[in-house]
Copies of this chain bind each other. A is one copy, B any other.
Amino acid sequence: MRPSGRNLSDMRSVSIETGVTKHAEGSCLIKMGDTHVLCTATLEDRVPPFVKGSGLGWVTAEYGMLPRSTGSRMRREATAGKQGGRTVEIQRLIGRSLRAGVDRVALGERQITIDCDVIQADGGTRCASITGGWVALRLAVNKLMKTGAITTDPLTPVAAVSCGIYAGQPVLDLDYAEDSEAGVDGNFILRGDGQLIEVQMSAEGATFSRDQMNKLMDLAEAGVSQLVEAQLAACK
């Protein structure tokens, strides 16, 4: 039995509100249950040095948590003087995942930065960031297409969900209560067409079998299809 009363293969309710900030070229507030992440896309003409002159575009991401997004207050990373190891890992993952859904030739030599800031955390913030980040990216690219700056759509949907073994059972979309108990959990990032972009499965103080791995993959594939539907609905 899951703490939330959900069935093993139930995701939390998803809502994606777009246009939540007036300055960003694209933005949304994604809610996966009680996990709320504000995602914004910033469009710039300048690109990083390693891309310059290549004609290719670049998509990158940064991630942060508000100090009181969590049950006990976390120290602000700006006062700590650096981003922690977990933050760096997550933002690298978000950027890498979103780039897998971008045709960088079609995007052209410009950069889009996706900022994912967790307003309220209840597990699965990195997956929500990827799913919501793609929506912000989509909206920013839509602007480029409306003005004719881009003529071929460079984007394929990308979404992410976590799965894990909780109380011996494979479950979809772990919330914090499950995540803190689960011996095994994984993040699955897929494209809208079901191709895999990144799989990270990890056991802390436990192990898992190939059979369990396959069951988690099945759950993830089902979860991501629902998320892609929600993304496309939000961007209409």
Mask: chain A, 66-93; 1 = CB below 8 Å from B; 0 = not: 1111110100111111110101110010
Taking A23-B68, A68-B42, A89-B92 as contacts, is the C-beta distance between A198 and B202 under 8 angstroms?
Answer: yes
Q: How far is the CB of A30 from chain B (nearest CB, A)?
A: 15
| A residues apposed to B, CB below 8 Å | 21-24, 27, 34, 38, 40, 42, 44, 62, 64, 66-71, 73, 76-83, 85, 87-89, 92, 96, 99-100, 104, 113, 115, 117, 119-121, 186, 191, 195-210, 213, 217
Taking A76-B62, A201-B198, A203-B196 as contacts, is the C-beta distance between A82 and B85 under 8 angstroms?
Answer: no
Partner of A66, one of B115, B197, B202: B115
Taking A68-B21, A78-B82, A115-B68 as contacts, is the C-beta distance between A213 and B197 under 8 angstroms?
Answer: no
**Tally of this chain's copies:** 6
Taking A23-B70, A68-B21, A85-B92 as contacts, is the C-beta distance between A198 and B205 under 8 angstroms?
Answer: no
Q: Once the chains bind, are A89 and B85 in contact (CB under 8 Å)?
A: yes
Q: Which residues of B contact A23 (CB under 8 A)?
A: 68-71, 120-121
Question: Which 6 residue pairs spanning A and B have beta carbons closest together?
Answer: A77-B78, A195-B207, A85-B88, A40-B68, A42-B73, A199-B201
- Interface of chain A, main secondary structure: mixed
18 A/B residue pairs, CB under 8 Å, sorted by A: A21-B69, A38-B119, A40-B67, A68-B115, A76-B78, A76-B115, A77-B78, A85-B88, A88-B89, A96-B204, A100-B203, A100-B204, A195-B208, A196-B210, A197-B202, A198-B202, A198-B203, A199-B200
A104 to B205, CA, bound (A): 9
Q: Once the chains bind, are A79 and B62 in contact (CB under 8 Å)?
A: yes
